[in-house]
Amino acid sequence: DAGVIQSPRHEVTEMGQEVTLRCKPISGHNSLFWYRQTMMRGLELLIYFNNNVPIDDSGMPEDRFSAKMPNASFSTLKIQPSEPRDSAVYFCASSWSARGSWETQYFGPGTRLLVL
Amino acid sequence: GNSVTQMEGPVTLSEEAFLTINCTYTATGYPSLFWYVQYPGEGLQLLLKATKADDKGSNKGFEATYRKETTSFHLEKGSVQVSDSAVYFCALSGPHTGGFKTIFGAGTRLFVKA
């Protein structure tokens, strides 16, 4: 069974460019999470979806960041315009979540983003 | 609010030493507790979990017991190996963490020397 798939695995771009990160969750999972990890700030939850609906985007740093989940098998995180301080590892995770059940999150391998 | 506090790292041990990584939590209600591990260059993966008080989670020689009276979930291993070098995250999730969120600790980096 395939795990969470993220693409690209590495991205190097210049300041001001648009960056799009992609995620395919595990089939059958109904919750999807986007995280950012840096040495300075650790692991931060950016946004999460349940049944393709954004539930909490309070972690999105600013309007330059946007996320979509058009269907149960695909999500994107977009940064426009990108800035050097956005350099980080971005993780996507998925889980099966329901009232009364708080299940394990399965993480993808991450996208390592470097903004020059 | 809900939060997780774990001991700061890095923790450096020799092979076959005993490991303890402390984790305490603050939560409303009765959350599930988790330990995740992140190996270099990879995403986090579940190491073990416990869903109610006094439960013991175990995997790959690691153990942690859900202690409600002390609000703790300390990670232990009797004899560490070089391959255990990684970052370990304590986490909680439950009905009062804002829907379906998991609250992660800051992570503790473990180095094991041969």
Q: Count chain A–chain B contacts defined by CB atoms under 8 A.
A: 55
Say what the pLDDT of residue B29 is: 78
Using an 8 Å CB-CB cutoff, list chain A residues near B35.
none
Kindly give, in sequence order, each residue whose CB lies less than 8 Å from that of residue B64, ignoring residues fewer than 6 positions away: B23, B33, B35, B48, B50, B56, B57, B58, B73, B74, B75, B76
Say what the pLDDT of residue B102 is: 86
pLDDT tens digits along A77-105: 999 999 999 999 999 999 987 765 667 89
Q: Which of A31, A44, A55, A103 to mutate to test the interface with B (most CBs of B within 10 A)?
A: A103
Of B89, B98, B104, the CB nearest to A56: B98
Say what the pLDDT of residue A1 is: 64
Dihedral, A37, A57, B93, A99 alpha carbons, nearest 10: -150
For B48, the closest chain A residue by CA position comes to A104
d(CA A32, CA B63): 28
Please identify every stretch of chain B with a pLDDT value under 50, giving residue numbers as ranges: none
Q: How far is the CA of A55 from the CAs of A92, B10, B57, in angstroms?
A: 15, 35, 30
pLDDT tens digits along A7-43: 999 999 999 999 999 999 999 999 999 999 998 888 9
d(CA A10, CA A108): 13
Are the Cβ atoms of A102 and B99 closer than 8 angstroms?
Answer: no
Kindly give, in sequence order, each residue whose CB lies less than 8 Å from that of residue A6, ignoring residues fewer than 6 positions away: A21, A22, A23, A24, A90, A91, A92, A108, A109, A110, A111
Are the Cβ atoms of B101 and A56 closer than 8 angstroms?
Answer: yes
Say what the pLDDT of residue B111 is: 97
Provide the pLDDT confidence category of residue A60 given band limits of 50, 70 and 90.
Answer: very high
Would you tell me how many other CB atoms lie within 10 Å of the CB of residue A30? 16
Say what the pLDDT of residue B27 is: 87
Say what the pLDDT of residue B97 is: 60
Say what the pLDDT of residue B94 is: 77
Are the Cβ atoms of A102 and B98 closer than 8 angstroms?
Answer: no
Say what the pLDDT of residue A64 is: 95
Q: Annotate A40-69 with DSSP letters as a single string.
A: TTEEEEEEEEETTEEEE-TT--STTEEEEE
Query: CB distance from A88 to chain B under 8 Å?
Result: no
Say what the pLDDT of residue B96 is: 65
Query: CB distance from A107 to chain B under 8 Å?
Result: yes
Using an 8 Å CB-CB cutoff, list chain B residues near A50.
99-100
Using an 8 Å CB-CB cutoff, list chain A residues near B102.
33, 102, 105
Q: Which of B25, B96, B102 to mutate to test the interface with A (most CBs of A within 10 A)?
A: B102
Say what the pLDDT of residue B99 is: 58
d(CA B46, CA B54): 19
